[in-house]
A = this chain, B = another copy of it.
Amino acid sequence: MRLSAKVEYGVRAMAILAIYYQGDPVPLRQIAEQEQISLKFLEQIFPDLKRVELVTSVRGSRGGYRLMRPPEEIRVGDIVRAVEGPITPVNCLAEGDDDSCCHRRGACLTRQVWARLRDKINDVLDDVTLDELVEVSAGKE
């Protein structure tokens, strides 16, 4: 029951972008240094964030990334799902697998628990916005 490093880094990076919201785009190099994350690894993560239109990019010198929406309209769940795909605690809950597991008795009994778990995880992650995440350090720069 662990999140990938990609997700962890992605959320941290987005938190940085939220701090520097309004202002020049932030280059990945800067995030990499501040958060001690490999630049090349960050470069793999941001296409996912761009694809779902959470960020926009500015190419070239003095370019970088910025949030596409204000921090209070971006939820942690959006980031997690963008980077890692939909939350599926067990295979059985992935799409197209609706009844393939239910000829076994125990599988069907437990299925609803996993579905509920999935829903609650999404709830928790969707309950927190980037704004709330960084407000504790508001004004620190």
Contacts and interface: CB of A to CB of B under 8 A. Distances in A.
A12 B90 contact: no
B106 A2 contact: no
A35 B110 CA distance: 12
A13 interface: yes
Could you tell me the dominant secondary structure of chain A's interface residues? Answer: helix
A71 to B, nearest CB: 12
* Size class of the A contact interface (CB-based, 8 Å): 35 or more
A3 B118 CA distance: 11
Nearest to A89: B3
A65 to B, nearest CB: 14
Given A109-B136, A113-B128, A104 B34 contact: yes
Contacts of A12: 104, 106-107, 109-110
A76 interface: yes
A105 interface: yes
A11 interface: yes
B90 A3 contact: yes
Contact of A106 (B34, B92, B105, B113): B34
